[in-house]
Amino acid sequence: MSTSDKDTVQDEASRSDQEASSSTANADNNEAESIDNKEDEMKRAAAKKLIERYFYQLTDGCGNSNCNNVYCASSKTFLFKVKNLSPNEAAAQAIQLFSQDARLCERHPNKMPRTQNQLVLPTSNSAQEQSESEKPKTPSAENPHTPSNDVKLSLCTESSSKNSKDTKANVTVPYLTEERLYEIIDKCEEKQCFAPLIRMLGEVYSDMTSLSKSFLQNDVNSPIDAILDKAGGDLTRLKKEDVRSLEGEKDKDEDMRSLEGEKDKDEDSCLSSSGCNSRQKKLPVDLSSVRRAYNALFKIKSSVFESALVNALVTLAGYLQVELQRKHDTYTTEDIVNILLIVFEIPALGSGEFLETALPALCRATTYLPTEVQAQLALAWSSPGRKSMRSILENLQQLITLRVILSNIPNIDIQDDNVITSATKLMKVVYYSNILAGVMESPELREDYSMDDSYNGLKLTRTQLPPDPLATLLGVNILDCRKPYLPFSEFYNEPLSDVVEMDRDFANFKSDMGKFSFMNYSFVLTPPTKTLGLYFDNRIRMYSERRISLIQSVAGQPSNPYLRLKVRRDHIIDDALVELEMIAMENPVDLKKQLVVEFENEQGIDEGGVSKEFFQLVVEEIFNPDYAMFTHQEDSQTVWFNPTSFENEAQFTLIGIVLGLAIYNNIILAVNFPMVLYRKLMGKRGSFEDLAEWNPTLYNSLKQILEYNEPDLEDVFMQTFRVSYQDVFGTVINHDLKENGDQINVTQENKYEFVDMYADFLLNKSVDKQFRAFYKGFQMVTDESPLELLFRPEEVELLICGSKNFDFYELEDATEYDGGYTTDTPIIKQFWELAHAFSTEEKRKLLQFTTGSDRVPLGGFSKLKLVIAKNGPDSDRLPTAHTCFNVLLLPEYSSKEKLKDRLVKAINYYQGFGML
């Protein structure tokens, strides 16, 4: 070849290279422009795809031995050979090349994640038996024109290890990745033909193997994923230090807490028979990728693929149910968890055909999940899956509500609806996930106060409810959850609570036949409905005591079928506590009988109203400062045990009995205990966070110490491990939290220890004797009750104290009328005008006068059936009331002024009987 010919060839080659470079640059520019135009999730996927090409070009090269690209490992002039790039360094350099729009080799394969690209499973036990022709081919120097591995419309496949050992031919199994779904969507939209997408969804989502291998984590590209996570998919937001962090420099953000400032939930997973609170470090399935893929998929009109996906999910649910019922070992726990994680991320699962067909089938299948799978699923949803927790919960709530509406047929037991029951069982997994994803306290704060239960030598036995296997495996206790990820109230299903028949449900709960009972899933029921379950349990026990008394009377051993208390109004504490102490000493079982109260020298049959007044008066006297059994916290307006009280333990035991009797007899009390008391009653010691409600001023002061990070803490706060408090006479008493506490200063090193010890002293140690006595009395009445099963501590407060929503408009809507009165009667309109204009204190007095209690019942005034009945024409008589039946007898006064005068007098002088 002549010199001129060579020059010509070189010129052509040069022009060709320039055109190729220009073509590459244009292509990259077009691709970069497309990133800017797409949504955030598409930006990330496209950017990641290009960066992967740079990454593999730097690490593996393009396979062309004649490559002259200085940014390609196959080139002899490769700029980075001397560096011997690590994966992190290569990832950082790839990002820089992307930002510079550097040259990409045309022949370089657009590799897919290796973790899934190499999922070729041999059918025999030996990997060597795999045919050479079936191995994935890669470009080489000897064959530089090997076809690219770019994603084609036909799905990439993998061999299945689940074939018979006698068959050596591999069976292709389709699976999905985010990139593959994007490619299929793009090609379908380009051709306006969605048949390939429909076929792909049908194949993958109807097959357990395919779905379990889809959307797996990409470990190779984790450095790229990490840096893109910082940028949110937009590389223009990257900072230099973000890139440097991949090259070995310290990541300045490594100590920042993830996701809403909470603690990192990604600790090493651990599940054992003894239970464990740890989390999964990393899921096999990439949930972020799944969410982005679904966002892209559901931007297409859902009617295009909805039926195909729904049918596939129904088929999948059938296979999953058979697999779980027969307990095959074909699929591992990880496989099943992967399938459920992917499926329950579908955003439309709670609407349309998905809600009516697919979700019920999936819930029925999950009924058979082993406890280990439930636990792994709970852990997965509590850490990386928690972003979808609310959506999953709402979908399950939608399904239950829909079924309740459709199943609201007379004589149909809702506990037999397998869709409702299976959705409720799955909701329990979400419930425990919600606890794990929240703010948790140490299990060491739990304490069994019943270990030394005895009273005057009589041993008290407490009924232990069977533990929940899932809670045991996870090491979860509701008392350890200081703040859940989602409010517990979001788990209530009001339509279900309104229609469930608690008498049947209670029978199922007590049955040994293994029937479903919502009492075992009490998180789904509203507190008023759960109260019915407690009511039935208490009433059945009362009736049982009556039958026993009747039998004893027939046998010549007469006994009182009721717990009768006869008291003097002026000596109510002395009389009540003396009688209760005698009963507790002689036969504590009598405390389980129905309470009947009689005031000496007063006429009145106790149908509930007399007992209400009795408890109201007892509470007023017990918390009277003259008794000095309790102290009053000014900041929080709550009462607490007096650590220096002169009263003996028996007095506190009897007060605990009174509180237990109020719950047992369904009576609301006007007590103002802080929440820490109810947590302690359920078995949890008080801690620093409980001080926020108990004593806000002290809590804020201690919090200032914790938040102060300067080295001069000792000089600023001048606090030692000696604390002070006052007795009932105002005398200051010093207490050392440690030996020689006045010589130990609070420093940056020991400030957390000081705060914990101080809170422990105030809420636990200083009142240990008083509280244990109080707890014993409470348990003497409620030891056999399913109280702990049904109620959380905050719900126990509602049960004892009633609702804080003092809405008289709600009371007006719930009130009924009798004797000729209606809502349109002038005096009734005048009555409510006056009632709404009353002060809060006057409203409480009116409520006390008409119902016997000044507290709002659990569930609000809508649960209170007040009746206003006509009591004759206009007269000078005062209104009267039957508090046992919540009936107000109101004469038809001639004017609004006269009504107000008589009503105000009545509510201010209501105590006793026969007052007119």
Residue positions annotated with a catalytic role? 884
Q: Are 316 and 206 in contact (CB under 8 A)?
A: yes
Roughly what angle, to the nearest 10 degrees, separates helices 195-205 and 306-325? 10
Report which of 622, 690, 701 is spatially closest to residue 632, judged by C-alpha positions: 622
Six-digit token pair at 653? 């035991």
In the 8-state DSSP scheme, what is residue 216?
B
Please tell me the distance from the alpha carbon of residue 14 to that of residue 11, in angstroms, as a whole number: 5
Which structure tokens are listed for 825?
């009667």
Residues sharing a CB contact under 8 Å with residue 555, sequence separation 6 or more, in sequence order: none
Six-digit token pair at 243? 């890139």
Q: Where are the alpha helices (DSSP H) in 275-370?
A: 287-297, 306-325, 333-343, 352-353, 359-366
Helix (H, G, I), strand (E, B) or coil at 354: helix
DSSP assignment of 91-105 equals HHHHHHHHHHT----
The residue type of 245 is S
Q: What is the DSSP letter of 761?
A: I
Going 792 to 793 to 798 to 799, the CA torsion angle's sign is positive
Contact 366, 422 (CB under 8 A): yes
User: Of the candidates 358, 505, 435, which has an alpha carbon nearest to the alpha carbon of residue 427?
Assistant: 435
How many residues comprise the chain?
Answer: 916
Residue 146 burial by Cβ neighbours in a 10 Å radius (0-12, 13-18, 19+): middle
Which two tokens mark 402? 């829909």
Measure the CA–CA gap between 137 and 582, rounded to whole angstroms: 90
| Whether 473 contacts 271, CB under 8 Å | yes
- CB burial string 574-586: b at 16+ within 10 A, e below: ebbbebbbebbee
Amino acid at the residue 652: F
User: How many alpha carbons fall within 13 Å on the CB side of residue 850?
Assistant: 25
Give the separation between CA 76 and CA 409, rounded to whole angstroms: 80
Who contacts 415 (Cβ-Cβ below 8 Å, separation ≥6)?
Answer: 421, 500, 504, 505, 508, 515, 516, 517, 518
Q: Which residue has the tokens 């590389």?
A: 235
Determine the Cα–Cα distance for residues 527 and 790; give it in Å rounded to an integer.
9
Structure tokens at 95: 């990002």
Per-residue burial over 856-869, b = 16 or more CB atoms within 10 Å of its CB, e = otherwise: bbbbbbeebebbbb
Q: DSSP string of 218-257?
A: -STTHHHHHHHHHHTT-GGG--HHHHHHHTTSPPTTTTSP
| C-alpha–C-alpha distance, residues 571 and 618, integer Å | 10
